[in-house]
Amino acid sequence: MDKLVLEPIGIIHSPHTEESATPIQPVCAEGTRGRVEVFPQYNEGLDGVEGFSHLHLIYWFHRAERLRPFPEGQALKVVPYLDDVPRGVFATRSPRRPNPLGLSLVRLVERRGAELIVEDLDVLDGTPLLDIKPYVEGFDLRLGTRGGWTENVSEETFRRRGTRRRDER
Ligand SMILES: C[S@@+](CC[C@H](N)C(=O)[O-])C[C@H]1O[C@@H](n2cnc3c(N)ncnc32)[C@H](O)[C@@H]1O
């Protein structure tokens, strides 16, 4: 199984059109509203999502350069938005990765048929959606975790670089 085939189940519509002006995580995009268009053939699969306040969106970073390992490609290091030091790609949430898969925890405002109104989007407009999973505290919440290099990022840097608002840059 050296190749996998993924088919988008929908499209994420968001107000973000410029990579460098898009918040770097949902916590930096609080209130940013958008629309998840789920293709009609998947509508039935949404039954029950109304009961969840938050959803994980799994998607393809369609505008990111794919990172290929040496020898023919690049080093598997990226400089995270919150840092100035190259880090192993798997120790970051960079969109530049061998398989450019994104994961965003968004707030579900409303389901309108096969359309989900969501908030806290850190995703570019037109992003292909691959999957949706409900956020469940009992499954997903962890306390007392370690945050690796992110523990050395100051709150000020996090706010300034994370939101990527023009007045913060
Ligand atoms: C650091 S990534 C984190 C995304 C997600 N929360 C994650 O952890 O996988 C967020 C950045 O990815 C970029 N981005 C968002 N959607 C993208 C897309 N469809 N293609 C390429 N880059 C994208 C934007 O520049 C945004 O600031």
Q: 1 alpha carbon to ligand 1 midpoint, in Å? A: 27
pLDDT at position 166: 66
Other beta carbons less than 10 A from residue 131's beta carbon: 15
- Give strand ranges (E) for 14-165: 33-38, 54-60, 77-78, 87-88, 101-112, 115-119, 127-134
Amino acid occupying residue 24:
I
Evaluate: CB of 80 within 6 angstroms of ligand 1.
no
Q: 137 alpha carbon to ligand 1 midpoint, in Å? A: 24
Evaluate: CB of 92 within 6 angstroms of ligand 1.
no
Q: Which residues fall within 8 angstroms of residue 66, CB to CB, at 6 or more apart?
A: 96, 97, 98, 99, 100
Indicate which CATH number applies to the domain containing 125. Answer: 2.40.30.70
Q: For all residues of the chain together, what is the average pLDDT?
A: 95
Whether 148 is covered by a domain: the verdict is no
Number of domains in the chain: 1
pLDDT at position 74: 73
Which domain, by its residues, includes 35? Answer: 10-64+100-137
- Alpha helix ranges (H) inside 2-150: 137-140
Could you read off the pLDDT of 8-67 as tens digits, one per residue? Answer: 999 999 999 999 999 999 999 999 999 999 999 999 999 999 999 999 999 999 999 999
Evaluate: CB of 124 within 6 angstroms of ligand 1.
yes
What is the spatial distance between Cα 64 and Cα 66, in angstroms, rounded to a whole number? Answer: 6
